[in-house]
Amino acid sequence: MRLTSLLSLALPALAAAAAGSGKALKNVFLDFDGTIVTTDAFDTFALASYISAPASLAPWEYFSNTYYDAYYAAEAAFGGDPSNLRDEIAFQASELLRDAEVDSFDRVKAAGVFTHATAKDLLAVALNVTIRDGFYDFLEDAGRRGVEVQVVSRAWSPRWIRTVLRMGALKANRSPYVVEALRVVCPEILPAGLLTPGARGADVDAAIFSGVDKVNVIKPQLRKNQKWVFVGDANSDLEPILAADVGVVAGADASSARTLKKEGVPLWKGADGWKGETSTKTGVYLIESFAEMGAILGWGKKY
């Protein structure tokens, strides 16, 4: 039998095998706070701006408390604390909550909180943020395998996210260049020129203030019928976790994990490897380390 005939028989079988595993997945989208990082990077980011701020600047507690007042007001207007998965998803997708998020961003920006930040202070506090185990190995392995990884986040600065990842790489004795081409999509609150951006076009300033916004940013990037993975942690990530072909929750103590567990949705241990595409009826993957992403995607890696 000719080689071409053998290939014509083998290739469909190989394609079918890949389709029945995580190996066919080439687009992975990650949340940042609570997903890539396991210690607070949001308040840390804001408080770094106060190191060199004048005494006349309203304290961060004012902005934080004002946001929570708006959050709980939105929750009350929605009908109270969501008691099930359907209501939680609906609340997270509501204009009431999104408006509270947008108002918080605009309020802080208008007050000029981050105009007082210095690169020195931001770099210093970025060193204190902890990166989830296995992240840099996962990122390098994805690059070798032609898997595109992006960060799609409600965090307030692509340059801050990249700075945290650079400093984390240095702290782990890894090359920071591994994160230079990583596409980071989120709102940008930092003044122009503060902190070094990534490679050309890698930092994207986008109005992401909800899980729905994340899905709306992700889907136009995909080719027809192209499958995708989303990894998140908070209830605000439930929309993309459940919209993705493969949804992954980062951390058993994450709010999304608690919500899914309460609803009776099985949480598959990522370390156990591929179990199929995800849904509320079948299950969602749960990881503690990015090493488990290698197992889910069929890379056989133990970082």
Assess whether pLDDT exceeds 80 at residue 3: no
- Considering the chain, what percentage of its residues have pLDDT values greater than 70? 92
The sign of the torsion formed by the CA atoms of 107, 209, 152, 203 equals negative
* pLDDT bracket for residue 20 (50, 70, 90): low
- pLDDT at position 83: 93
| From 3-7, 60-64, 111-115, the region with the lowest mean pLDDT | 3-7
Report the pLDDT averaged over residues 3-20. 42
**Distances in whole angstroms, Cα of residue 28 to Cα of each of 73, 90, 134:** 34, 24, 15
Assess whether pLDDT exceeds 60 at residue 105: yes
- pLDDT at position 236: 97
- pLDDT at position 114: 96
Residue 239: both structure tokens together: 């929309």
Nearest alpha-carbon partner for 77 in 92, 96, 95, 93: 96
Bigger pLDDT: 258 vs 22: 258
Assess whether pLDDT exceeds 80 at residue 113: yes
pLDDT tens sequence across 193-246: 999 999 999 999 999 999 999 999 999 999 888 999 999 999 999 999 999 999
- pLDDT at position 225: 86
Mean pLDDT, rounded, of the chain: 91
- pLDDT at position 10: 40
- pLDDT at position 134: 96
CA distance 251 to 192: 34
Indicate the pTM of the whole model.
0.91
Q: Specify the pairing of strand 229-232 against strand 27-30.
A: parallel
- pLDDT at position 142: 95
- pLDDT at position 302: 54
Report the pLDDT averaged over residues 8-31. 62
| From 1-15, 137-151, 248-262, the region with the lowest mean pLDDT | 1-15
Assess whether pLDDT exceeds 90 at residue 251: yes
Asked if 34 and 233 count as a contact pair (C-beta separation under 8 A), the reply is yes
